Homo-oligomer: A and B are copies of this chain.
Amino acid sequence: MKSLTEYMWFNTKKDKEFVNITDDVQKVVTKSKIKEGLVLVSAMHITAGVFVNDEEDGIKSDLMEWAEKLAPFRRDYKHHNTGESNADAHLKSVLFHHQVVLPVTDGRLDLGPWQQVFYAEFDGQRRKKLIIKIIGE
């Protein structure tokens, strides 16, 4: 069994932003020389997510609006008694899930035609980290 672990850093311009990282993940897969395996792509923060969907501006905007509707910013979260103001980002992280596992077949991400991998920043404008870990052979 082979494995490779790489980290990516983000510092988004906007507070909330989706970043398409499909090519970055494929680069790690290629570098690993693993032909058959699984690659975990996982946010290392509790106010971010990782998900698979469509590289289309409309749906990305719809998804962000939907996140705000289901896990809205509010002043009165109990978490804010600590001095924080980002409880909504924690909820959004759970809603979107903080990770995906992607199949690797014949050295390539084995995705459907419209599947793209996104890092979902819900509390940005600061340095945040993500792990890409592949195992296989």
* Bound complex: CA A101 to CA B87 (Å): 23
| Contact A101 B98, beta carbon cutoff 8 Å | no
Specify which chain B residues have a CB less than 8 angstroms from the CB of A37 in the assembled complex. Answer: 3, 135
Render A63-106 as a binary contact track against B, CB cut-off 8 A, 1 for contact: 10010001100000111111000010011011111111111010
* Bound complex: CA A112 to CA B42 (Å): 10
Render A32-56 as a binary contact track against B, CB cut-off 8 A, 1 for contact: 0000111010111110000111101
| Contact B56 A110, beta carbon cutoff 8 Å | no
* Bound complex: CA A45 to CA B137 (Å): 26
| Contact B99 A101, beta carbon cutoff 8 Å | yes
Cβ-closest chain B residue relative to A57: B78
Q: List 11 A-B contacts (CB under 8 A).
A: A36-B135, A45-B112, A46-B54, A52-B98, A53-B90, A56-B79, A58-B80, A58-B87, A62-B78, A62-B79, A98-B100
Closest 4 CB pairs of A and B: A44-B112, A58-B78, A58-B79, A59-B79
Beyond A58-B79, A62-B90, A94-B95, 10 additional contacts (C-beta under 8 Å) are: A3-B37, A36-B135, A38-B133, A44-B111, A44-B115, A58-B78, A58-B80, A62-B78, A62-B79, A63-B90
